[in-house]
Structure 1
Amino acid sequence: MANTVTVKELVDSSGYVVLSGEEFLGNKITTSEISRPGVELTGFFNFYPSARIQLLGKTELTFIERMTAEERLIVMRRLCSKETPCFVIGRRLPAPAELMKAAQEAGIPILSAQSRTTRVSSNITNFLEGKLAEQVSMHGVFVDVFGMGVMITGDSGVGKSETALELIQKGHRLVADDRVDLYQHDENTLIGEAPGILRHLIEIRGIGIIDVMTLFGAGAVKQTNEVNLIVNLELWSKDKKFERLGSTEEIVNILDVGIPKITIPVKTGRNLAIIIEVAAMNFRAKTMGYNAAETFERNLEALIKENAQKGE
């Protein structure tokens, strides 16, 4: 079943003023695309995207003012389709009386926004893309480390939450513990957040559930974050080979977004929090164009070539 958002959720998140139709705020929004009716105001409705939020700004309202009252009512009634979730008017401009009448008849709320119309369009689109995007949940712990979104995965009991707690003590921020809800923001960006019931909470075996914001302050938590790196904790085994140079990079596809993944062996005496900090800084260095593994390989090749020339 496709995700939907109600007009009331949009109002609550944006602070838009309801000009009319408060009883219709339960109307559902099913697409993040916005319509600014243009040719429709001239009477051409062949390709009218009626299921979208209809956004009116100064340009549209100025054109509407040039019509007669009868023409306005005819066009407004055609704009007010049964599929239309709501109208939004930018710049706190007044709504035409004919639109108020037609929208009331059709059961469509009219909202008023303070910002200029292009900004209103951008804000609504960003909000709806996050709410309507396909979502998946993953088992793990999600933390913000030096501004990088690091999702810690691994088998139950491997030490994910304890590692996250140590990172929090070192000044990093918790986004989610145990379950991470993920959605695609755009083709290159994956966003993670905690389910509402688990927000700010972390479970430590032997202690139980603790509220991170209460114990460490508001600066120790974050609502959402981009996922930049997956760190998989795996119990060390002498029979398993782990990456040593970092020259090979594993990519995990989540909702069609490729996320780099590294596997860290867990062994008594290893400080996983420091290792994850270094992993995050190393990943950032790679995104800025510096790769230590490539530098090592170049230096090694140069040394081999130099020794070979000496032996000739």
Structure 2
Amino acid sequence: MGKKTKVSDLVQAFQLEVLAGEQGLNRLIKVADLYRPGLEIAGYFAYHPKERVQILGKTELTFFETLTAEERRDRMQRMCAEEETPCYVITRGMTAPVEILEAADEYGMPILRSTIATTTLVSRITGFLENKLAPSTTIHGVLVDVYGIGMLITGSSGIGKSETALELVKRGHRLVADDAVEIRQVAENVLIGNAPELIKHLLEIRGVGIINVMTLFGAGAIRNVKKITLVIRLETWQQDKEYDRLGLDEETTRIIDTDLPLVTIPVRPGRNLAVIIEVAGMNFRLKRMGYNAALQFTNKLTETLAGDLDDSDV
């Protein structure tokens, strides 16, 4: 089942005035799309998207006033009787028709009002609902902001993810989340990560315990949310495993519905993981700017070998 939010969350987020139907504030909002029911006010209900939040702006309310008293009562009775409809929001601080207030109280349909212009309010509510209803998951790992790149560090328990994050923070980078990372897909191929409220700004270091990064290193050492751009996977060094030494093999990993670049770093004593992750971040930025050191090296090597072969024919 998909994610949901309540009408009461909408009221609180936008400081909306509740005009009627207060008993329906616990109604669920299941989709982020909004709808302006002009056709329904005109009497056409064949394809009414009743599961959406309904917006009544100046156009709808002005047209509503042109209807007869009987038509107004009929339209509002039919519109407010829909149990799937979360609520109606009146914009621009306009006066709510008596007919909609009476029908709303009868059916428990929340009628809300905002002073904000229709277009602006539609944009803000859509953004709010897309964020609230976005697909989400929680992943065991550490999320850090390194040179502006959101890096999700994963790996088995005890491999050194938190210790690496601490070293990165000491080197001037920022912690977003440790141990558990809440991830939301807010748009196509866009993942946003943050820490659960309970462990926000906290870092667990074995042997030391839980530390508060913001208290120790200041507000500049933390971020509340960050777009995830690169995944770093730490794994124990295996002697018999072949590791990519040039960087030509570009792996990806899938989180929710998004494929992210993946860099696998083998862990063994003596390797400075923080520095390696910093360099991985800088190298990733260079690749996005069009410079690929591994590819240039391979091309130069091919050219050199080809030149040597031509010389041997002379």
Contact 2:144 2:175 in 1 (8 A): yes
SS at the partner of 2:249? coil
Tell me how far apart the structure 1 counterparts of residues 17 and 170 of structure 2 sit (CA, whole Å).
42
Scaled by the length of structure 2, what TM-score is found?
0.92
Please say if residues 201 and 212 of structure 2, whose CA atoms lie closer than 8 Å, have aligned partners that are also in contact.
Answer: yes
**TM-aligned CA deviation for residue 131 of structure 1:** 2.0
Partner of 2:204: 203
User: Counterparts in 2 of 1:1-150, with a 5 A limit?
Assistant: 1-80=1-80, 81-150=82-151
What is the CA–CA distance in structure 2 between the aligned matches of 1:297 and 1:164, rounded to whole Å? 33
Which moved further from structure 2: 111-120 or 197-206? Answer: 111-120
TM-score by length of 1: 0.93
Q: CA deviation at 1:44?
A: 0.3
Distance, in Å, in 1 between the alignment partners of 2:277 and 2:239 is 22
Give the equivalent residue in structure 2 for 1:265.
Answer: 266
**Structure 2 CA distance, aligned partners of 1:307 and 1:119?**
67
The answer on whether the counterparts of 2:22 and 2:108 sit within 8 Å (CA) in structure 1 is no
Indicate how the Cα distance of structure 1 residues 109 and 273 shifts in structure 2: closer, same or farther if over 3 A, else same: same
Instruction: State the AA in 2 paired with 1:56.
Output: L
In the alignment, the residues of structure 2 paired with residue 310 and residue 114 of structure 1 have an alpha-carbon distance, to the nearest angstrom, of: 80
CA 1:223/1:303 → structure 2, altered by over 3 Å: closer, same or farther? Answer: same
Alignment of 1:215-294 (within 5 A): 215-294=216-295
Cα distance in 1, alignment partners of residues 290 and 91 from structure 2: 43
Q: Distance in 1 between matches of 2:218 and 2:26?
A: 36
Runs of 5+ unmatched residues, structure 1: none
User: Alpha carbons of 1:116 and 1:229: their partners in 2 closer, same or farther (altered >3 Å)?
Assistant: same
In structure 1, distance between residues paired with 2:93 and 2:275: 52
Change (3 A) 1:117 1:281: farther
Structure 1 residue 200: Cα displacement? 1.8
Q: How far did 1:35 drift? A: 1.3
Q: Deviations over 1:32-86 (max 9, x none)?
A: 1211112111100011111110012222222223223332222122221122111
More moved, 155-164 vs 131-140 = 131-140
- In structure 2, relative to structure 1, the CA distance for the partners of 1:289 and 1:103 (3 Å cut) is farther
User: What do you get for the CA RMSD once the two structures are aligned?
Assistant: 1.9
Aligned sequence identity (%): 52
Q: CA separation in 2, counterparts of 1:19 and 1:309?
A: 86
The whole-number CA distance in structure 2 between the counterparts of 1:235 and 1:75 is 67
